[in-house]
Structure 1
């Protein structure tokens, strides 16, 4: 028996592998590279595009952690269907899915909603981790370079738009807890509470770097042009569209009643704690 972790060499999966390995849990690291070496884990090469490969990876697992990559929505929906089919065939004991901030409202018809609905229909033990925005987004070159070089933190939100930011380390803490908590199902929100604003972020960065840092609102289009060279034009356009839609909301705060703080006793890091923990 083992815990199967997707994206084990990536930003989301690697902290989960590290946390499970540190706890002495048997870990199977799922990667696309059969030659990858992952400390504390057995490596299995499998891709979201192959139901057969996923089924082999999931069979006999105590738990599976899955998240959908930043690719086209068409591909994401294909991957969601393949994951559900593999879970149906392999029958892992538990599945934990991180939405990576994508909506799970059935009205959206998106891949994240498809995957949640599919898991629910299977009757498998599952939980859904729902972060809002990742602190790691602030490590994009256009953000962190501006902080270091100009004392400015640029981001595509209004200055007074409050967000329950979370880090990949916080998600890993929640995943590890949920894999061993089959009594908890449904959505678990992960993020800082109370939510904080752009100037709050800038203040935390300033305190960490020992300099004055101010927040600068940019447009979703400016964000798109900044990240397209890194993630591709299509995914960048999707991200920009999501931020444009988000700008119509009053905030991106988690609800305390279904938070990791209440349900799991897991408190996400402050921005300053996160900056220290990643050694920036």
Structure 2
């Protein structure tokens, strides 16, 4: 059995490769870099603009894990269209797609998969805890005891981690009766104050939460991922903060559909070895 993983050298695809490797299956790690080397996998550089390359990569596979890079909407739609065309041609036995935090009801891949005739599931996370490890976020926590993030202090959100995405992906490859959208994240949802308390417990120091504007967050993010991608992130936060909250639907949760309990913020920090005993 061969499983294909998009973005296998990245923060989201990497844990999926690690989880699949524990099952002893064959893994094809897709990257956009020709010099990439992924442990426990056959590494294959694929151009998302090439339907032919994507089709060849998917053909004969047991499962495919897909997520899209953070790019502008037009490019995202182009990539989604190419991937769907290739999936329909190659007909893998199972497709698991992560929206990467973008709303599932407006996601081009999610809609296309529903009409593809393929066995599929869509993982819909809200926010990644790994965002709180960004250098500028960590600098504030460690040097000033201030966790700054572009969400209001009492805005309740269902945070989850890339490790939780990997757990859900593995379960969805195995539980093919589960289809449609599966929402992944903490439930009940947590606030900025809750996040700060978890970091305080892990780091052994006082930590308070402080609202950061999406624009300021994007400025600090741009050196890491480029101005265009940072602008996409900024726009996403500006839209989300207009909502009353960003909590998952318990009826479509991984807790209910897969029997998985996403990590608490403190448990995630402990699992990463960031807890000071």
**Out of 196, 207, 213, which is 1:213 matched to?**
207
Q: Is residue 131 of structure 2 the alignment partner of residue 137 of structure 1?
A: yes
Shift of 1:20: 0.7
Give the structure 1 partner of residue 162 of structure 2. 168
Shift of 1:33: 2.8
> Which shows bigger deviation, 40-49 or 188-197?
40-49
**Distance (Å, rounded) in 1 between the aligned partners of 2:35 and 2:218:** 34
Give the structure 1 partner of residue 96 of structure 2. 96
Give the structure 1 partner of residue 87 of structure 2. 87
Aligned partner of residue 65 in structure 2, secondary structure: strand
> Which shows bigger deviation, 169-178 or 70-79?
70-79
- RMSD (Å), alpha carbons: 1.1
Give the structure 1 partner of residue 236 of structure 2. 242
Decide whether the 8 Å contact of 2:70 with 2:232 is kept in 1.
Answer: no
Deviation string, structure 1 residues 129-148 (Cα, Å, up to 9, x no partner): 00000001111111111000
Give the structure 2 partner of residue 21 of structure 1. 21
Shift of 1:279: 2.2
Q: How does 1:100-139 map to 2 (within 5 A)?
A: 100-106=100-106, 113-139=107-133
Give the structure 2 partner of residue 198 of structure 1. 192
Aligned partner of residue 30 in structure 1, secondary structure: strand
Q: Is residue 178 of structure 2 the alignment partner of residue 184 of structure 1?
A: yes
Shift of 1:10: 0.7
Shift of 1:116: 1.5
Shift of 1:149: 0.4
**Distance (Å, rounded) in 2 between the aligned partners of 1:71 and 1:151:** 32
Q: State the TM-score, normalized to the length of structure 1.
A: 0.95
Give the structure 1 partner of residue 9 of structure 2. 9
Deviation string, structure 1 residues 118-170 (Cα, Å, up to 9, x no partner): 21222101000000000011111111110000000000111100111000000
**Distance (Å, rounded) in 1 between the aligned partners of 2:255 and 2:18:** 22
**Distance (Å, rounded) in 2 between the aligned partners of 1:37 and 1:223:** 32
Q: How does 1:139-154 map to 2 (within 5 A)?
A: 139-154=133-148
**Distance (Å, rounded) in 1 between the aligned partners of 2:192 and 2:214:** 15
Deviation string, structure 1 residues 31-75 (Cα, Å, up to 9, x no partner): 123442222111122121211111000000110000010122221
Shift of 1:235: 1.6
Unaligned runs of 5+ in 2: none
Give the structure 2 partner of residue 110 of structure 1. none
Decide whether the 8 Å contact of 2:71 with 2:232 is kept in 1.
Answer: no
Unaligned runs of 5+ in 1: 107-112
Deviation string, structure 1 residues 202-222 (Cα, Å, up to 9, x no partner): 000011000000000111111
Aligned partner of residue 53 in structure 2, secondary structure: helix
Aligned partner of residue 274 in structure 1, secondary structure: helix
Q: State the TM-score, normalized to the length of structure 2.
A: 0.96
**Distance (Å, rounded) in 2 between the aligned partners of 1:227 and 1:10:** 17
Say how many residue pairs are matched. Answer: 274
Aligned partner of residue 104 in structure 2, secondary structure: coil
Aligned partner of residue 127 in structure 2, secondary structure: coil
Give the structure 1 partner of residue 37 of structure 2. 37
